[in-house]
Amino acid sequence: MERNRSRDLKPIIMLVLAIVIVAGLLWSYNQLISKEEAVDSSWAQLESNYQRRHDLIPSLVATVSRYLEHEQETLQGVVEGRAQQANANVSRILEAVNSASTTAEEATATSASEAPKNEETLRRIARAQAQLSVQSRHLMAVVENYPRLHSSDQFLTLQAQIEGAENRINVARMRYNDAVEAYNAAIRRIPGNLWASLGQLQRKAYFEADEEAEDAVTPVFD
């Protein structure tokens, strides 16, 4: 009697085990998808902060350019000659800032709405964004030689907004790397590695350190 009951229960136990295993695999897959979504969400936040900085650059360039034009109209003689040379140097820096902003925006736009899938793409974006950071900081430093411009409300507001955008970018980059770290670790562990081995999920690229990206940057000096 007991033997018959054991035989009757065996298929049920096997079915329950199969259901538990399948449910566990599906749960782990859903967890991995959530982590992958977190990576893309973190990247979207980073892109948003990049775009915020890109949107501010034209206003900054326009503000400095208007000041240079006004100053040039009010100076004469020897002083004018010196000012022309100084203003020409600033103009070159403005061109570099504009160029860096365009390059950075184009590089980031190639990633579409999800996180880049390979390190080379991410490295290219890092270099372009680092170029913009360096040129923007250089412009801010040079503007300190123009006290009236440097103390104007419009410039100070733009400066604060750009510095705020830089800080948010740094925070967003750290959060992105944290999300990538959690995702990559999950697909290396059992049972996540099973899904990865089936080609369903792939490793994500990290954002490299700023120092490496800025090694490729050549700022324009006056």
Domains of the chain: 2-214 (1.20.1440.20)
How far apart, in Å, are the Cα atoms of 35 and each of 60, 118, 179? Answer: 38, 17, 7
Side chain identity at residue 19, one-letter code: I
Q: Among the residues of 1-114, which ranges form H helices?
A: 2-74, 77-109
Q: What is the pLDDT of residues 102-118, one digit of tens each?
A: 888 888 876 556 787 77
Query: To the nearest whole percent, how much of the chain has pLDDT over 70?
Result: 79
Supply the pTM of this predicted model.
Answer: 0.78
Q: How confident is residue 147, by pLDDT bands cut at 50, 70 and 90?
A: confident
DSSP-derived 3-state class of residue 112: coil
- Give the pLDDT score at 15: 77
Residue 59 class from Cβ within 10 Å (0-12 exposed, 13-18 middle, 19+ buried)? middle
Which pair of structure tokens corresponds to residue 222? Answer: 């006056």
- Give the pLDDT score at 79: 46
Give the distance from CA 131 to its chain's centroid.
Answer: 13
